[in-house]
Structure 1
Amino acid sequence: MSRHIDGSVPVVDQPHIRLEFQHGNPKEVGINGCTIEEVIDVLVDKLAEFQKRGLACKENSVALWHLTSARDVLILRAKVREAQGVRGEDIPHESPHLIAELPPKFSEEGTLIEA
């Protein structure tokens, strides 16, 4: 099996889960797998469904906040890499200083309160 430029294998194949990650620059090789952001979106959707049913809780809200924050930072990373002309290349980028976010706030029902 071929490896990513970082040395990792593009397929995760474990009991009960199989993920095929994008391997190579989509502009050069086309779409051949998922991104980390897309995997996070699946998890967000699953937890959001729990929140719409009788399984809503504060822990799910906190997990949703962290997952969406992680996705947003990864999207920012892609934009920064694009702006610096290194997206799709095996070249590090310069990370801008990220402003620390305040901890999330939740209602008594466990719903995330948007700032």
Structure 2
Amino acid sequence: MRKIQLGEHRFTEVRVLDEPGTGGANHLYNICGGEDGSLFAHIEFQDGSIKENEINGCHQEDLLIVVLDRLQSFQRGEFGCRENALAITKIEEALHWLNHRTQDRQNRGVEGTSKQ
């Protein structure tokens, strides 16, 4: 297990549970917190290509969409602020570029495979 030391973790801790797989990425994460280290979220990312391994986990886009929805909800309420607006823009940009990569892979006929 490895702890991710990024940002401020006064209340929660992100833990990587597995070793990097194909492509160098990890697939299993826990988000824990509270005084007793309770498990708040367990995240399983896709492990291997979909065509070769079927769907076996979520994608980073899924988590970005969850955070985007949450920030947009804050913006519609009393907690709207410039910082949230900037974060929304950057998440939308990240989704744009990830989708651009997917489109490129579709156009080259390699989406869902281990081919680059």
Partner of 1:45: 69
Taking the aligned partners of 1:87 and 1:14, their CA distance within structure 2 comes to 30
- Residue 37 of structure 1 aligns with an amino acid whose one-letter code is E
Taking the aligned partners of 2:100 and 2:88, their CA distance within structure 1 comes to 18
Q: Percent of pairs identical after alignment?
A: 30
For each residue in 1:56-115, what CA deviation from the matched residue of structure 2 results, as whole angstroms up to 9, or x when unmatched? 1111111001001101110110110121122233333xxxxxxxxxxxxxxxxxxxxxxx
- Specify which structure has the bigger relative contact order, considering alpha-carbon pairs within 8 angstroms and separated by 6 or more residues: 1
Give how far 1:31 is off: 1.9
Between Structure 1 and Structure 2, the one with more strand by share is 2
- Tell me how many residue pairs correspond in the alignment: 92
Partner of 2:26: 9
What's the RMSD between the two structures over aligned residues?
1.9
Q: Which portions of structure 1, spanning 4 or more consecutive aligned residues, are displaced by more than 4 angstroms? A: none
Partner of 1:64: 88
TM-score normalised by L of structure 2: 0.68
Give how far 1:39 is off: 0.7
Structure 2 gap ranges (5+)? 1-17, 33-39
